[in-house]
Structure 1
């Protein structure tokens, strides 16, 4: 048999096997596709329709056009919830990433028992969004909580940090900063990928550790910083449990902890205004998408990759 004939035989024999493998792959992926259609895409389409209706769960939805959008423009409490959420995101996320990077640099120096430290520091990321930690946080910053007890040792009179509108949001920011474990682990993995020859060459040239950090570590870590920034911004915009538990679901005191998601919950499940709540949900999607797109656009000015000239 000629070489061309053998090649055709091999191709003909492998084609059915390849098709069988594709069918098997699609079969294994079928549950995921069903979940995507039923749990994600279906509710999203329904929510988009409900955002143009008046719907209270007790009667069929009534199409109202752009009425919900007009209501959002005039809703001062919605505007306040956006302001509270923006403050929470723009203050707590940079502080969280700065702390995560600092601890990652310290752990990267090779401490004994590194795996233990890494696990302990990562634990808050797993527990930070839980109801139990939110309840604990409420107790810590209460008038008779541990924070005021520590301050009393130094002769400082404490206050009800949760019950004061000037400090209530700050306690939630501290809680978000405390959940630095996830970005810290990612930063630590990125630090381990930086070639040591860069630091050796810089040491030979007389560069200090501080100069090495700003001239080598930070530029090489910019893709990791960008990745963590995107994830943490999206997560901070979606924060709900902490504010709900700490404020008792009210967003108080004086709406100082009224996150956008908490106000959305109040309109949808307390006031049964599901049409308006659906419109609010889509506004949140647009806001998160806009900030994500803005970060991707700005990344070309400060994120550097190894394959760039």
Structure 2
């Protein structure tokens, strides 16, 4: 595990690309050299989402890909509210006020491991960075990617471009496995080939991954996304219940990535990848 350090000073990033990739979903490419150089898979940025004062709070957005050599980062953003609608409206050349990278990311992958990824909807975003690092070091990666229907599958093109084996799942059966993505994950874990699982997605999906991790004794790490105010651990806006001692953990500072058995997920709102 890598305890990550991060920068709190705001940075101005330049929008290099804003491309619609699915209904209500955009891929943004930003020039943010400091962020690109410092980020770890699973970290996020906290972005100002207005030119004025409304909406007041920044929005946490997962860093999907980072390119230190060019100083670029990529984000996958779903239009979920006024904040993310603002981000999806940015044009090439616009500036984005961001803080980060923030939070604790995924652990370093042991040499010789096989990595299984499980992403639901926009929750695939932080898993792209994990796949990017893993494949760069020769790790075999299989990514199970789910959505309600085929038009809403995101991240598949990027994962395939990184060399990952991609297994899609759709609730309506319009592409790949017919049913929740956790069905694919269960099948892959049952082969005994994987002892390391990274996941991000809706809370119900993450609860299912917790159970699969216990059943198959896989080391599992989950990326949580909660509504945040400060983004740096100064408030309690994103607290989740700890599984051991009955205390609380802050998603922004102690996470967003947690070992699966470290947090209580039942009753939490929200999905994965970003908050509107």
TM-score of the two chains, using structure 1 as the length reference: 0.20
Higher relative contact order (CA 8 A, sep 6+): 1
Q: Which has the higher helix share?
A: 1
Q: Which has the higher strand share?
A: 2
